[in-house]
Amino acid sequence: MLPTIEEAMKELDAAWKLNPGPWVRHSVNVGIAARNIAEKAGLDSEKAYVIGLLHDIGRRVGIVDIPTHVYEGYRYCMIKGWEEAARICMTHSYPRMSADFDYEPETEREMGIKKYILGCVPDDYDKLIQMCDALAADYGFVILEKRFVDVTRRYGIMEDYIKGWDTIFAIKEHFDSLMGCSVYDVLPDIGRTTLLTPKPWQPPKGEQK
């Protein structure tokens, strides 16, 4: 089960009040990108829109790290009965799936995520949101290379990130061929927004990163 587009938008509004930040506008843009690409790729565009809107909903709990927002989003959507959105909350941050977990996590939360990801074969909706997460900034749509640099400037770099980038480029090729054009062709105004260089967002002082 999934919420309607209207219900998902209301969730984002409520989440904005709990934890305002660029992640909300980013989520809306992930939804729009997913809808536009799904339409042309022969997928369910309404489902794509809703799961795109909700992929980061775990951030409603505050400024948290990657595993925490993944886990909180999954938990929140499961409580609501939105299983397909819960799945995306889990898979969107791990494009390499099991290869992203070639280590033993220390926290119970991360152990739970690892178990879930190891038991999951990514479908086109998982791949779509993994890719759209890398196409949508809060200020608009951008080419993958640009988003990778933005995120790296915020969080720093590890060698494995580059393998993740390669995975996302491969997913883009997959969707380019499903669509018969480039995913960039259906992202409104990308030519302009990809050239913008706003300063990386910083959390308000005193808040947990």
Nearer Cβ to Fe ion (78/151): 151
Residue 74 CA to residue 28 CA, distance in Å, equals 18
Residue 149 CA to residue 144 CA, distance in Å, equals 9
Kindly indicate which of the ranges 45-53, 55-63, 160-168, 179-187 contains the residues binding Fe ion, using the contact rule CB under 5 A. 55-63
Kindly indicate which of the ranges 66-74, 76-84, 110-118, 132-140 contains the residues binding Fe ion, using the contact rule CB under 5 A. 132-140
Phi-psi region of 63 (alpha: psi -120 to 50; beta: other; left: phi over 0): beta
Closest separation in Å from C-beta 55 to Fe ion: 6
Kindly indicate which of the ranges 67-75, 131-139, 155-163, 186-194 contains the residues binding Fe ion, using the contact rule CB under 5 A. 131-139
- First vs last Cα of the chain: how many Å apart? 32
Q: Which of 11, 56, 110, 126 binds Fe ion (CB under 5 A)?
A: 56
Q: Which of 133, 137, 141, 164 binds Fe ion (CB under 5 A)?
A: 133
Kindly indicate which of the ranges 37-45, 96-104, 125-133, 193-201 contains the residues binding Fe ion, using the contact rule CB under 5 A. 125-133
Identity at 20, one-letter amino acid code: P
Nearer Cβ to Fe ion (11/56): 56
**Residues near 160 by beta carbon (within 8 Å), at least 6 away in sequence:** 96, 100
Nearer Cβ to Fe ion (2/136): 136
For 36-62, give one letter per residue: b (16+ CB within 10 A) or e: bbbbbbebebebbbbbbbbbbbbbbbe
Q: Is 72 in the site for Fe ion (CB under 5 A)?
A: no
Sign of CA dihedral 141, 66, 118, 86: negative
Closest separation in Å from C-beta 104 to Fe ion: 26
Which spans of this chain sit near Fe ion (rule: CB under 5 A)? 56, 133
